[in-house]
Every structure is written in C-alpha cells, then in structure tokens.
C-alpha cells in the first residue's frame, strides 16, 4: 500500500483520492483554503463520459441525482433570432444516464462526503510551498510550517498549480482566451413573478445557445422552475468588469445583449447574484506531467477552455486512470517502477487531453466576434452547423464514448 499526498481538494483532487483508495492505497488531501467550498463556484455540465468514469468509483447513481438532465442543445443567432441547429449533447449511456447540469458545489459536496466516508482525510489551510524528494518518498512542506510525508505526491491543484513548476520549472504559463465567464441562477419564485410574461423559447432539458451581436450566451430552464444562464463577453483591455457592483454589472451585460432578439436581458435583470466575470485560460501542452515521485492530474496538467464542456469529466477520467496505473504498487517499489506507472498513465491520457484542449479552443473561436466579422460569420454559420449535424455521431463518439476499463492489465506490468 502507498501513502499518497494529494494537493488540492477540488473535483480532480477528491476524485483522485477516491480512485487511489479503490486501488488499495491511503490518501490524504491537502487544501490551501481554510474550509470546504460548499456553496462556492458557478455551475457545470457533467458529460456522459464523466458519469462513466464516476461509475468506476461507485458514484454514478448518486451523481445522477444532482442538478437536472440536459441532453440537448440548440444554436441560434441573436441578431435575427434564427434557429441554426439542434445537437444531442453526448448521447445516453446504456442505463439512460445523460449529461446533467449542476452547481459545482453539488458535485464537490458529493465527492467530499464520499471521500470522508471512505476514510480519506482532508486537511484545510495547508498551502504547499515546497516538496522534498527523498530516497524512500516525499515530504510536502506547507506555509504554516507543517509538513507531511508520503510515498508519492499528486498535483491536483488546478490552473495555478504549485506542483507543476516543481515538476518542471520551465513549464508554460496558462494561455489566455479573450473571453470572460459570468452567469447566474434565477430562483423559481423569482422567475415565476419577474418572468411570467417572458417566452424563453426552450423547454427544460435543452440549452439554448446564442451567438449574439456582442456576446455569446446560453440559458436553460430546469424542471423545478429555476433558470440557469451564462455569458461569455469579450475580454477588453479597458476597465475590469469584475470590479463592478451588481447593478453596474447588470447594466453592462444588458447593454451587450440589447440588440438581440432573445429574452436574455430580462434574465439578467431578474438575477439577484450575478457571478463576477472571470478570465478564460487553457494549456496547449504541458511538457512534463511527472517527475520522480510527483505527478499531475486535471487542470494542473491540461486545462481546457470551458467551451469544451469537459473540465470536470476529464479530471475524473484522469483520476480513474492514475488509480488504475497504481494498482498493486507498494512502498517497497523502486523509483523506476513508480516512474513506469506514471509514464503509462501519461501515455494513455496525454493524447486525449490535448485533443480535448484543442477542441475546446476551436469551440471558443466563434464566440470571439466583432462588428467587422459578425455579419460574415452569421451568413456562414447555418451551413457550417448543418454540416456538423450530418456527421455529429461520428464527430463526437471519440469524446463522449470514452470508457476506462479498470480491470485492464497496465502496459508496464511486464517491465
């Protein structure tokens, strides 16, 4: 059995700890923030490949109770209200599971509570500053003066990872995508009163995505009467919208969508707590995912644009693949054996991860519009989306149909 130190208690870190536990190892999760992040963060859509990976961890049925089913999406032009195309968002697993939209907090809480139930310790207020590699393991040193000893260390600490530069001091900085992210959830009672005369033009379970004149956005009603929406305004070099108060933020956002033939301006006005706009990044490629007794998972290794819709799903896939690679490992194994296991994990995950990052980048590009390109793009989009729809199943099976066989024999087994 290995004693594993996991840095970061987000989706990647908690999933990894659960996977390591399934592989027969002990895991302790160290989080820089001082407490759990219940109620923190926006919302996400977990794709069916993410649910398939959660099934390996024994959590698919519980996760399928979170949020609401969103298996469909429709694309529109904001300038004319014209319908472009409908898409099946990833298909359906054999048991009927579809993609589901949920708050990040809901997924986090499920993973955290299950980790604790399975005997995984989570320590808060432990910000990593240094890792000392020893012949028989690693020591993680934290900014509060404490330290922890383990056989290996997993960097699951996201885009701004503290572990990544320890593995490779020359690792690249995140790459900027010139889009901001914001949004909100309108409670059912507010929606019933403030939006009673508003025609959303979409039923629960379907995302309505709009290429607006000045901003890309999406909204969807849930079966319980809430309305969920997000927007991707262009990131400008002028004043930071994150510094705006709620009323100023509403005014700015409604100004961006004022010329569109959609009800999104009313949705913005009805939202009590709009998420402060934040920047978008990705990683084209991280040269090294592991070194010695340290390894990366999730956004620390391969952050994709939110336009991929795959951040959480890819993190869970990483966790399952790493846990499988470490099955049967013991603290008596030589460093070369551990390196072979890390290399097998990376060899399996890197091609898929980098393909998803590139795909997410391409998905972001049509959202980066200005008045000089918008009219031409609008003219071309209907033809483009029709072509995509005709071969959608072939295009997306590589993404949503991915399955990790936990019982498969790792490639390094004969080494």
Give the CATH number of the domain where residue 205 resides: 3.30.9.30
252 in any annotated domain: yes
Q: Are 282 and 173 contacting, i.e. CB atoms less than 8 angstroms apart?
A: no
Residues 122, 125, 131, 136, Cα dihedral to 10° = -30
| Band (392; pLDDT cuts 50, 70, 90) | low
Handedness of CA 88, 91, 96, 99 (dihedral sign): negative
Residue 394: the pLDDT is 55
- Neighbouring residues of 407: CB distance < 8 A, sequence distance ≥ 6: none
**pLDDT (tens digit per residue) in 342-379:** 999 999 999 999 999 998 888 887 787 666 666 666 76
253 in any annotated domain: yes
One domain, residues 130 and 10:
yes
Mean pLDDT, rounded, for 381-400: 69
**pLDDT (tens digit per residue) in 236-255:** 767 788 889 999 999 999 99
Residue 380: the pLDDT is 66
Residue 10: the pLDDT is 95
How many domains, in total, are found in the chain?
2
One domain, residues 215 and 315:
no
| Band (415; pLDDT cuts 50, 70, 90) | very low
Query: If you average pLDDT over every residue of the chain, what do you get?
Result: 91
| Band (88; pLDDT cuts 50, 70, 90) | confident
And the tokens for 261? 């033939």
One domain, residues 302 and 265:
no
One domain, residues 52 and 127:
yes
Q: Of 176, 154, 171, which Cα lies nearest the Cα of 12?
A: 154
One domain, residues 236 and 339:
no
One domain, residues 295 and 408:
yes
Residue 55: the pLDDT is 98
One domain, residues 186 and 44:
no
> Cα–Cα distance between 216 and 232 in angstroms, integer?
5
395 in any annotated domain: no
- Say if residue 194's pLDDT is above 70: yes
- Secondary structure of the chain in HEC code, one letter for each residue: CCEEEEECCCHHHHHHHHHHHHCCCEEEEECCCCCCCCCCCCEEEECHHHHHHHHHCCCHHHHCCCCEECCEEEEEECCCCCEEEEEECCCCCCCCCCCEEEEHHHHHHHHHHHHHHCCCEEECCCCEEEEEEECCEEEEEECCCCEEEECEEEECCCCCCCCHHHHCCCCCCCEEEEEEEEEEEECHHHHHHHCCCCCCCCCCCEEEEEECCCEEEEEEECCCCCEEEEEEEECCCCCCHHHCCHHHHHHHHHHHHCCCCCCHHHHHHHCCCCCCCEEEEECCCCCCCEECCEEECCHHHHCCCHHHCCHHHHHHHHHHHHHHHCCCCCCCCCHHHHHHHHHHHHHHHHHHHHHHHHHHHHHHHHHCCCHHHHHHHHHHHHHHHHHHHHCHHHHHHHHHCCCCCCCCCCHHHHC
And the tokens for 31? 């989080």
- Round the CA-based radius of gyration of the chain to a whole number and report it: 22
> Cα–Cα distance between 88 and 205 in angstroms, integer?
11
One domain, residues 127 and 271:
no
61 in any annotated domain: yes
- Residue owning tokens 């697993």: 93
273 in any annotated domain: yes
One domain, residues 168 and 315:
yes
Percent of the chain at pLDDT exceeding 90:
74
Residue that finishes a domain, picked among 265, 280, 295 = 280
Q: Strand 278-282's sheet: what is its strand order?
A: 83-88, 72-77, 206-211, 215-221, 227-233, 175-186, 278-282
**pLDDT (tens digit per residue) in 204-240:** 999 999 999 899 999 999 999 999 999 999 987 677 8
Phi (first) and psi of residue 15, to 5 degrees: -65, -40
Its domain, for residue 223, covers 175-280
One domain, residues 129 and 51:
yes
Exposure string over 384-399, b if 16+ CB within 10 A, otherwise e: ebeeebeebeeebeeb
The enclosing domain of 165 has a CATH number of 3.50.50.60
> Cα–Cα distance between 115 and 122 in angstroms, integer?
8
58 in any annotated domain: yes
Pairing of strands 206-211, 147-150: unpaired
CA 73 vs. chain centroid, Å, equals: 18
Q: Of 154, 280, 258, which Cα lies nearest the Cα of 212?
A: 258
**pLDDT (tens digit per residue) in 49-65:** 999 999 999 999 999 99
One domain, residues 43 and 132:
yes
Phi (first) and psi of residue 186, to 5 degrees: -95, 120
Residue 386: the pLDDT is 66
Residue that finishes a domain, picked among 229, 261, 280 = 280
> Cα–Cα distance between 415 and 409 in angstroms, integer?
12
Q: CA 266 → CA 198, 246, 262, distances in Å?
A: 8, 15, 9
Q: Which residue has the higher pLDDT, 85 or 237?
A: 85
389 in any annotated domain: no
Q: Are 296 and 380 contacting, i.e. CB atoms less than 8 angstroms apart?
A: no
One domain, residues 323 and 312:
yes
Residue 333: the pLDDT is 78
Phi (first) and psi of residue 300, to 5 degrees: -60, -25
**pLDDT (tens digit per residue) in 285-310:** 899 999 999 999 999 999 998 888 89
Which residues are bridge partners to 222 per DSSP? none
> Cα–Cα distance between 321 and 331 in angstroms, integer?
20
> Cα–Cα distance between 346 and 325 in angstroms, integer?
10
Residue that finishes a domain, picked among 236, 263, 280 = 280
């Amino acid at each position: 059995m290995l004693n594993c130190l996991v840095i970061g208690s987000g989706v990647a870190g908690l999933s990894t700890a659960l996977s390591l536990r399934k592989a027969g190892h002990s895991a302790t999760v160290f989080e820089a923030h001082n407490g759990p992040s219940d109620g923190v963060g926006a919302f996400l859509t977990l794709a069916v490949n993410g649910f398939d990976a959660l099934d390996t961890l024994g959590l698919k049925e519980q996760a399928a109770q979170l949020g609401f089913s969103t298996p469909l999406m429709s694309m529109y032009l904001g300038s004319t209200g014209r319908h472009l195309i409908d898409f099946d968002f990833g298909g359906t697993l054999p048991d009927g599971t579809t993609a589901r939209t949920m708050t990040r907090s809901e997924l986090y809480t499920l993973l955290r509570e299950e980790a604790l139930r399975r005997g995984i310790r989570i320590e808060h207020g432990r910000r990593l500053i240094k890792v000392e590699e020893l012949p028989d393991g690693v020591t993680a040193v934290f900014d509060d003066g404490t330290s922890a000893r383990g056989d290996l260390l997993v960097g699951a600490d996201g885009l701004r990872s503290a572990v990544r530069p320890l593995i490779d001091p020359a690792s690249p900085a995140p790459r900027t995508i010139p889009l901001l992210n914001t949004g909100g959830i309108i409670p059912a009672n507010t929606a019933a009163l403030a939006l009673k005369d508003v025609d959303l033009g979409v039923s629960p379970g379907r995302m309505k995505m709009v290429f607006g004149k000045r901003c890309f956005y999406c909204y969807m009603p849930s079966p319980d009467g809430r309305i969920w929406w997000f927007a991707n305004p262009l990131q400008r070099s002028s004043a930071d919208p994150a510094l705006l108060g709620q009323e100023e933020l509403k005014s700015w956002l409604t100004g961006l969508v004022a010329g569109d033939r959609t009800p999104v301006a009313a949705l913005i006005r009805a939202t009590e707590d709009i998420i402060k706009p934040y920047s978008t990044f990705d990683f084209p490629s991280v040269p090294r995912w592991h070194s010695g007794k340290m390894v990366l998972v999730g956004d620390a290794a391969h952050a994709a644009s939110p336009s991929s819709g795959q951040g959480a799903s890819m993190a869970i896939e990483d966790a399952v693949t790493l846990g499988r690679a470490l099955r049967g490992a013991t603290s008596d194994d030589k460093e070369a054996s551990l390196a072979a296991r890390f290399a097998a994990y990376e060899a399996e995950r890197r091609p898929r991860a980098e393909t998803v990052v590139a795909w997410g980048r391409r998905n972001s590009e049509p959202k980066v519009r200005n008045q000089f390109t918008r009219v031409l793009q609008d003219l071309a989009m209907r033809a483009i989306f029709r072509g995509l729809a005709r071969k959608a199943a072939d295009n997306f099976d590589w993404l949503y149909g991915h399955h990790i066989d936990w019982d498969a024999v790792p490639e390094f087994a004969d080494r």
